[in-house]
A and B are shown apart, each in its own frame.
Chain A
Amino acid sequence: MKKFARLVCGALLCAAPVMAQDVALTSRDGTFRIDGTLLSYDGEFYRVDTIYGPLTLDGEGVDCDGPGCPDLASFVAEVRFSGTRRMADVLLPALIQAFAERNRLTVLREVEDDTHSTFVLRDTDRVRARFTLRATTTAEGFADLIAEEADIALALREPRSAEVAMAQEAGSGDLVRGRRARVIALDGIVAIVAVDQPIKSLSMDQISGIFSGQITEWSAVGGAEAAILAQTPQPDTGLYEVFQSRVLAPRGTTISPDIQTQSNLEELVDTVADDSFAIGLTTLSEIGNADPVRISGTCGFEQTPSIAALRSEDYPLVMPLMMFTPARRLPLYARQFLEFTSSPAADLVIRRSGFVDQSITTSDFGAQGDRLAHAISRAGPEVPLSELQRLVDGLRSRDRLSTTFRFEVGTKLDVQSSENIMRLARALETGTFDGRSLLFVGFSDSEGPAGPNMRLARSRAEKVQELVRDAAKIADFSQVEMTSDAFGEALPIACDDTDWGRAINRRVEVWVN
């Protein structure tokens, strides 16, 4: 109810003015004058609520008169973050610290309590920026962003349609279109058990059955005669919501209300680690002293939640950690911080904080042994041996990039893959692949006849290649060769008998030599 009230408030712009006072902005040549209420000043630009609506004016071109005018010489950039504790507890503090050090600023973290902190960034002269951080949930982060109580929302999922509509009504623009979302790092949803629990591999159906309350005994999944003590995070958390929508909703079930919830993931993980018959729902970055459960498939594939599998999205429950920005200009320090989060220096911080960064790594052809063996064992009329030989000939001399592209439907990329386009484009622009050739290779699932699957895989590979070329505007394409190919359903990563397995198999890989 509180959240709803705040959203309505945001929609009516009643929460927007931070320091509502009158200003008159006059152009330096005196030819025009704008009167209004100052909404914000970011050190460069005035944002003023006028009779024409909110306007943004370059501070270089106007003089400010009136009681609302900011003190230009002592401007301190205020940047407010709000959202999921998965990001706010560890990742953001580490990134802010590294960002400040890189910009020769010192940081003092003023801790209000476990969920509210302010990071004061100063140089040798004075305070330059204050980053405030509210650790809450993804939903609250979006609500704060829409109500203009936050400048950057920290999210584990994309906004729901109700949140997108609310943002538009509030004048916050379209949360989905444009580059409003940035994937900062990757995490994965994992089930965990105590170290001494012998069951370390479960199918997605079994995991779903346990958390929906349909499976209550370990003996039902091949374990001991004992009750399963399942633990989940709070229902309002992004992790709970993503698990519900991606794992249970497709099966027509929900998380059982009888399952015990824990107020934070650390307590959940510690509870599971201490109880041999417990199973918990957490993220790969927070498995504590418990063991993660592998996801098994009926065809023999097992998906292990590992850094490499998350980075290439070969694990089915990858969860991008995202920052959403508003449809207005942010202060320079905020923009620089956002830029920093996708730099190699930030990748180091992300790894150290226990998350998976999106840096581009390679694995050689030999690392594909299991996949090849599986492909050979399935060879038949749909995928003849000659096609596998073509695949081996085409890829043997190349290395696979961790950058992999996956599709929500048709040729629409998922959010992580959109970020991958930018990453790969930036690598091309900086000459990382100069003198080498990139091969975009499309793969499909095995549902339906092989011919259309091959055509779809080829069109996806061509589409990705085109998107990368478009995004890499300043790359020198005379130095790097880019081609595409497709092998259809020849080299599956997961079993094709489930939706999530087929989704993993529908992909475009990038191979380099």
Chain B
Amino acid sequence: MSKSLCTLLGAGLCMFAAVTKADTVALAVPAPVPTIKADLPHLPAMPVLMQQSRYRTIPNWTPTSVADRTKAQADISAFGVPCAVDLRAEPMPDAVFSITVNAPCKPDQNIAIQYAGLTFDTATGVTGRTTFNLPAMASKGTLVSVFSDGTSLSTQLEAPDLSEYARVAVAWADALDMRLTANAPHHTPVSFYDLGEETGRTVQILSHHQSPDINRAVIRLGVAAPITAQNCGQERYAKVRHLQPNMPPISYDLMLAPTSCDRIGGNLELKNVLQDLKLAAN
């Protein structure tokens, strides 16, 4: 567009064109073509420009916000953060990892976490980020996070101090309120980790640090759930993984038969389904 033409069409139009050209991200935006008023009596006739049919009319055009255009065209989140996805695992004390999944452009998106044969569901927050503590369930293993759009990330986890811990993980294939229960003697402290959202697949992990001077001990394990209208009459599937010092890990799959809906308000308690943790004295 020449400078003289700019003078002819008026400053407003010329300024818009200048801004448009100056914007480094506007190349893909269709250049707005405003309607030109034809009534310019003081100017000499300019047949080319006065032919209105050369200008397309865009009715009801509203200007796109800079933020929206930036987000759509530059791989940057609504908060101005680059969209690159990221899975990080930071080793913590007690053979636990702090896991962070960062996906700024995938806010409120479900993620399936797969690790050591166990799977649970979690979700990113409004910023596209989620973080949780994950007890190691294998001395070496791969953590995979799969977004609901199919995006997959993975990282390797190594826990050299895992051999000091006895752990039992129960992965429930549905959200039916089933709980891992434990009865441990007072000198055998245990901690519980709950992983996953209540509405999806969950994993519960019991962990006990076996100190070198510990006596022999037995931790009794069971599963329990209140019987409700939501969970009665439904099968429950679970995968169980046991880790104990100086023993190879074991895993087994369970299907708990449906409880009768006549028992709503009662409790389902199974004491002989999980193998008790029998800790040998060092």
A: residues with CB less than 8 A from B are 85, 89-90, 93-94, 97, 106-115, 135, 195, 266, 270, 273, 288-289, 352-354
Shortest CB-to-CB span from A130 to chain B, Å, is: 13
The answer to whether B252 and A97 have CB atoms under 8 Å apart is yes
The answer to whether A111 and B256 have CB atoms under 8 Å apart is yes
Interface residues of B in 245-263 (CB under 8 A from A): 247, 250, 252-257
> Which B residues are CB-close (under 8 A) to A270?
183, 220
A112 to B275, CA, bound (A): 17
Known interface pairs A85-B272, A111-B273, A266-B220; 13 further A-B residue pairs with C-beta atoms within 8 A, sorted by A's residue number: A90-B276, A93-B275, A109-B273, A110-B254, A110-B257, A114-B271, A114-B273, A135-B272, A266-B271, A288-B218, A289-B216, A352-B247, A354-B278
Shortest CB-to-CB span from A5 to chain B, Å, is: 27
> Which B residues are CB-close (under 8 A) to A90?
275-276
B82: interface (CB < 8 Å): no
> Which B residues are CB-close (under 8 A) to A97?
250, 252
B interface size (C-beta, 8 A): 22
The answer to whether A108 and B255 have CB atoms under 8 Å apart is yes
Question: Can you list 21 A-B contacts with CB-CB less than 8 angstroms, sorted by A residue number?
Answer: A85-B272, A90-B275, A93-B275, A97-B250, A106-B253, A107-B252, A109-B252, A109-B255, A110-B254, A111-B273, A113-B257, A113-B270, A114-B271, A135-B272, A266-B220, A266-B271, A270-B183, A288-B218, A288-B220, A289-B216, A353-B275
Shortest CB-to-CB span from A111 to chain B, Å, is: 5
The answer to whether A289 and B253 have CB atoms under 8 Å apart is no
| A289 in contact with B255 given A94-B275, A266-B220 (CB within 8 Å) | no
B49: interface (CB < 8 Å): no
Contact among A93, A106, A107, A111 for B257, CB-based, below 8 A: A111
**Residue of B216, B218, B220, B272 contacting most chain A CB atoms (<10 Å):** B272
| Minimal Cβ-Cβ distance residue in A for B269 | A114
Shortest CB-to-CB span from B159 to chain A, Å, is: 22
Shortest CB-to-CB span from B201 to chain A, Å, is: 17
A89 to B250, CA, bound (A): 16
The answer to whether A109 and B253 have CB atoms under 8 Å apart is yes
The answer to whether A108 and B253 have CB atoms under 8 Å apart is yes
B185: interface (CB < 8 Å): yes
A273 to B218, CA, bound (A): 11
Interface residues of B in 264-280 (CB under 8 A from A): 270-273, 275-276, 278
| Minimal Cβ-Cβ distance residue in B for A274 | B185
| A93 in contact with B218 given A112-B257, A266-B271, A352-B247 (CB within 8 Å) | no
A110 to B272, CA, bound (A): 13
A246 to B183, CA, bound (A): 34
A354 to B273, CA, bound (A): 16
> Which A residues are CB-close (under 8 A) to B18?
none
> Which B residues are CB-close (under 8 A) to A85?
272
A135 to B273, CA, bound (A): 12
What 5 pairs across the A-B complex have the smallest Cβ distances? A114-B272, A110-B255, A289-B185, A288-B218, A108-B253
Shortest CB-to-CB span from A101 to chain B, Å, is: 9
**Residue of A94, A111, A266, A270 contacting most chain B CB atoms (<10 Å):** A111
A509 to B253, CA, bound (A): 43
> Which B residues are CB-close (under 8 A) to A195?
215
| Minimal Cβ-Cβ distance residue in A for B280 | A354
A270 to B215, CA, bound (A): 16
Contact among B216, B247, B272 for A89, CB-based, below 8 A: B272
B217: interface (CB < 8 Å): yes
| Minimal Cβ-Cβ distance residue in B for A120 | B255
A288 to B279, CA, bound (A): 10
Shortest CB-to-CB span from A154 to chain B, Å, is: 14
A474 to B252, CA, bound (A): 38
Shortest CB-to-CB span from B90 to chain A, Å, is: 33
